[in-house]
Structure 1
Amino acid sequence: MNKFWTRRAGIVVLGLLLALSAACANKENGGSSPSDAPTFTDSPSSAPATPSASSPEPAESPIVEPDPTQAILTSMTLEQKIGQMLLVGIDGTEMDKEMNRLITEQHVGGIILYKNNFSDLEGSVRLVNELKKANEGNPAPLFMSVDQEGGKVSRLPKDFTAIPDAAKVGKTGDPKLAEEMGALLAAEMKVMGFNVDFAPVLDINSNPKNPVIGSRSFGNRADVVTSMGVAVMKGLQQNGAIAVVKHFPGHGDTSVDSHLDLPVVRKTTEQLQAMEWLPFQTAIESGVDAVMVAHILFPLIDPDAPASFSSIIIGDQLRGALGFEGVVITDDMTMGAIADHYGIEDAALKSVEAGTDIILVAHGYDTGKQVYDKLLQAVREGRVSEARIDESVRRILALKLKYQLSDASIPVPKPEDLPNEQIRAWLERL
């Protein structure tokens, strides 16, 4: 366990000792344990002893273990909780005062870097380390994220040997090669200090006029996209990177780029179930940790809201019908599909109300602050309950604990530290 979580584990242990001491005192006085004591869960390995026939004494109480997620959540302020639900972008290639404020004052839970945020290896790693260092006073480590899909969506410095797009890998039809692709992407992420990859794309490229998916998809058949995409997901996860599958419920049959405008897809739920949902359904059954929801309007399902803030698509379908219990994140709220049609702050609030856990605001410090203020105001005025916020923050903290995220600085990699040799060997087998 790294130092960050060890420190929080110490807080939990202290809470346990205090709770046990209070329980003993209350027992002597005929009272009950305090209502503000940490929440504990039964340890599955600690079953009560079975009394023998000659011993009428009751079984000992099972040993209980503290829930670290709940312990951290209980220690957080409302402002810190709201911050955990934001993942924001940075301007330029260096740490600046505005980003420092978003981390230290708005307590944002994650950062995304794009290609224009990377300089050389040394400068890029320095930026990552400075972002993490600024987060020292916050209750959980940062999600350090990037879109590293391969092909045209590759953000890391050009020192890395290029990984091809999903379409080329999909043509092999070999899930083992796809899983190795995921492992290589994870290796790239790790050496640069990242822990979240917004990949793989699980969209089925069924529309030849699609201007934004194309070769980012593993193919135009559901079975190919499912087998290859889920294999990449597993390769990422098994090598310590959080995979975020995208773009639910499916961006493959659009003729509009949601970065520029709002796509409208006139499909029914039954049609999506028969095709677009299939890769996501398998990913969920295979243990995906996070799902990105698209900015697409499906008027036959919800005429009033695009998927990214539709309570029908997020709540009834993704969480309900498909049973997804992990972290839901929006696509970038500053994209034209939202900014030009709905208003970013209002859409962000509606998305949280619909069941989203993380709002992605990839561009604009002021916009990130405005979204934060909007969510905070909504809770203070009673439009959104703090219990609803706690649901999302609990999922976020659980995911950070699962992958043992850390804000520890990383060394600048040397050329031999990069996984380029492994990438080239893999490329020869494609």
Structure 2
Amino acid sequence: MRRTEACGHLILGGFTGTTLPDSYARALRKGERAGAVIFRRNLRPEKGADADATAVAELTASIHAAAPEPPIVAVDQEGGRVARLGPPVLRLPAAARLGATQDEDFIERVAYAQGCELAALGFTTSFAPVLDVHTHPENPVIGDRAFGATPEAVSKMALAFARGLRKAGLFPCGKHFPGHGDTTKDSHFELPIVQGDRARLEAVELAPFAAAARAGLPALMTAHVVYPALDEKPATLSHAICTDIVRTHLGFGGVLISDDLEMQAVAARAPIEELAVEAVSAGCDLLLICSNEDAQARAYEALVRHAEAHPSFGLRCEQAAERVRSLRREFPPRPEQERERLVNIVGGASSRAIAQELAARGLAS
């Protein structure tokens, strides 16, 4: 694989507007992006249930059409306060409320129903489940996004959710490695630090990710958090964490995805060019750069330059690209593009049945 081609598989970006920009479509066609992440800013104002679902499907279809290989089409649709897609897509409660049921079969069925809708709309992943353990009451970013306050509860309930997504044809992505649940700062704005010795981190933060690795989860997402007991660098940029722990210690064989490199926890540290090279060197396989197309282009160009100048880094890029390509091939888009069939899946009978069961359990959001 040529180095320029390999580096293109390592960038997953986002864009502004409700249609795919020509600039982003060109980057996809040239193989300089692995796909795209869809946010609420990309969705049309609702025009009724059918029109909304159709608009989302049209947008994802344009991404599929532009990409020469099956693209990753991602969305954050955890449930609760983190849900980019509104009605008619199935509304889920926060993970903490699902986890409190302690009903793995139910959680798997809920995730399967959601996953079927997302697959019908043309997505290949929802960045879920959260594998963080909620251990700090003042945590501003995780809180009820976690499935529980113990590693045992999180491992069981989050992995049940992952099974449901995978059964629906999406790849689940566990986050935020190696654990964001004990922070008091939001990494969107500041660099959090998690104290605690290695034994505590092993027993609490790392335990759900170890379970995910054993279960064969296909993707994990890093945290922009410093763990002094592990390394002085944020996890996303740490070889000790992204390679030594995730690959050697946990035996994880899937794709390691960085959290968004535009978040201030790391963006305040260095330019995007340096962050991209540092994250891939650390062990990240796929870099999220969710908003700025210019930043995505600069990161891609920096990866190519560094790969061409440093053979060992070039090999690292090729290794990462092969992991990403394998993931893309295993989980290609499976959209339901016919309008009549789409509306039977999104908000259809199966989803309505799950919504009714959620309501009966007092979990309607």
- TM-score where L is the length of structure 1: 0.78
| Larger gyration radius, structure 1 or structure 2 | 1
User: Which residue identity is paired with 2:154?
Assistant: V
Which residue of 2 is the match for residue 175 of structure 1? 104
Q: Which aligned pairs between 1:13-412 and structure 2 lie closer than 5 A?
A: 76-105=1-30, 107-119=32-44, 120-135=52-67, 138=68, 140-303=69-232, 305-382=233-310, 384-403=312-331, 405-406=332-333, 410-412=337-339
CA–CA separation in structure 1 for the residues paired with 2:267 and 2:276: 11
CA distance in 1 between counterparts of 2:56 and 2:222 reads 28
Aligned-pair CA distance for 1:266? 1.8
Kept after mapping to 1: 8 A contact 2:24/2:293: yes
Paired residue secondary structure (2:36): strand
Q: Displacement of 1:173 after TM fit?
A: 1.1
Q: Deviations over 1:107-153 (max 9, x none)?
A: 21121001121222222211111111111xx3x21001111101111
Offset of residue 213 of structure 1:
0.5
Give the drift of 1:159. 1.7
Alpha-carbon shift at residue 219 of structure 1 (Å): 1.6
CA distance in 2, matches of 1:417, 1:249: 35
* Distance verdict in 2 for CA 1:409–1:107, change over 3 Å: farther
Indicate how the Cα distance of structure 1 residues 79 and 408 shifts in structure 2: closer, same or farther if over 3 A, else same: farther
* In 2, Cα distance between equivalents of 1:133 and 1:186: 22
Check 1:265–1:408 CA distance in 2 against 1; reply closer, same or farther (3 A cut). closer
- 1:93 partner letter: T
Change in Cα spacing, 1:426 to 1:81, as seen in structure 2 (3 Å) is: farther
Asked whether the equivalents of residues 142 and 407 of structure 1 are also in contact (C-alpha less than 8 Å), the reply is: no
Task: Supply the distance in 1 between the matched residues of 2:126 and 2:312 (Cα, whole angstroms).
Answer: 30
C-alpha RMSD over aligned residues: 1.7
8 Å Cα contact 1:106/1:369 also seen in 2:
no
| Corresponding residue number in structure 1 for 2:47 | none
CA contact 1:163–1:423 (8 Å) conserved in 2:
no
4+ runs deviating over 4 angstroms: 406-409
Instruction: Go from structure 1 to structure 2 and tell me whether the alpha carbon gap of 1:383 and 1:343 turns closer, same or farther (over 3 Å shift).
Output: farther
TM-score normalised per structure 2: 0.91
* Amino acid across the alignment from 1:178: I
Q: 1:272 to 1:424 in 2, by over 3 A?
A: same
Q: Report the Cα offset of residue 408 of structure 1.
A: 7.3
Which one-letter code corresponds to 1:282 in the other structure?
Answer: A
Query: What is the CA-CA distance between 1:384 and the residue it aligns to?
Result: 4.4
Q: What is the aligned partner in structure 2 of residue 8 from structure 1?
A: none
Partner of 2:358: 427
Partner residue of 1:62? none
Instruction: For 2:342 and 2:160, locate their aligned partners in 1 and report how far apart those are by CA, in whole Å.
Output: 29
In the TM superposition, residue 342 of structure 1 has moved relative to its aligned partner by: 2.7
Q: Does 1 or 2 have the higher relative contact order (CA < 8 Å, sep 6+)?
A: 2
Alignment partner for residue 416 of structure 1, among 337, 344, 357?
Answer: 344
Query: Given that residues 379 and 386 in structure 1 are in contact (C-alpha distance below 8 angstroms), is that contact kept between their aligned partners in structure 2?
Result: yes
Contact persistence 1:132–1:409 (CA under 8 A): no
Would you say how many aligned residue pairs link Structure 1 and Structure 2?
Answer: 350
SS in structure 1 of the partner of residue 37 of structure 2: strand
Amino acid at match of 1:374: A
Amino acid paired to 1:378: H
Inter-CA distance 329–177: structure 2 relative to 1 (3 Å threshold): same
1:133–1:407 contact (8 Å) kept in structure 2: no
